[in-house]
Amino acid sequence: MKNYLFIPLTLAAALSLTACGNNLQGELESAQETASGLEEKNKQLETELNELEAENKQLTEEIEIFEADSSLAELDEAYTLLEENHNLLEEKADSLQEERDTLRADKDSLEAENKDLHAELEEATAELVSLTSETAEANEKQPAEITKYEDDEEAEKTSGSFSNVITGLSKDEAVSKIRTNAEADWPDDYVMQEFVIEEQKDSYNKLRSMNLTSEVEQTQMERAYADWGHDFTMVEFAYHEQMAAYGKQD
């Protein structure tokens, strides 16, 4: 991903919120998968417990039948076996019940965590939508130097007495490159793609309409474009920073 170290504050904040939303969504999906697994294991434990209870009942019925036609020694042996089996079943049932209680507690904890993650994700999403809306409104309030792209390919190659390298670019190619870069930098994140595209278009329009009146301006525009290419937000930023520094030397 490209280095956006010097991108304006609004864009940086939007990127941070988007990353936060993606992380929360991943945690939420993980918690939901774990809760689903616990529910399935709980059902299996209940099935095992029911099978054990059925087996115990069957043993009791068998011993009752055995009592009718067996000797005292055989009955004692059968009772001993039944008692051992019964104790074993009780131990296993207690163990299963304890594990089931633990699973239920874990499930309740995960559901609570799920709820918190949902709330955090909704909050992050709302902040991102609000920030995007505020940025769009702020852009609309700025003096519009160019409000749309013209369809013709023939543009003025110079502005004022000095050449503006941005004016000489093909508008269709510039817009196409802006979109390609945004899609590469933000795959599957269509909110950020459109946000970055609009920011880049706005910067491109401003740069293209600039009337360069000195060799210094021409040189700094060419240098900024050479450094940042079709990242017009950074071209605009770098150009203005250089000119501001130059102005302080006067």
pLDDT for res 20: 60
**Chain centre to alpha carbon of residue 202:** 27
Find residue 163's DSSP bridge partners.
Answer: 158
pLDDT for res 158: 41
What would the DSSP string read from start to end of 30-85? HHHHHHHHHHHHHHHHHHHHHHHHHHHHHHHHHHHHHHHT--HHHHHHHHHHHHHH
pLDDT for res 226: 95
Residue-wise pLDDT tens for the chain (250 aa)?
444 333 454 555 556 666 666 666 667 677 667 767 777 777 777 787 778 778 777 777 776 666 555 566 776 777 787 778 777 777 777 777 787 788 778 767 777 876 777 677 777 777 777 777 776 666 666 544 444 434 333 344 444 468 999 999 999 999 999 999 999 999 999 999 999 999 999 999 999 999 999 999 999 999 999 999 999 999 999 999 999 999 887 6
48 close to 99: Cβ distance less than 8 angstroms: no
pLDDT for res 2: 42
Cα–Cα distance for residue pair 25/45, rounded to 1 Å = 31
pLDDT for res 220: 95
Find residue 94's DSSP bridge partners.
Answer: none
pLDDT for res 146: 42
pLDDT for res 10: 55
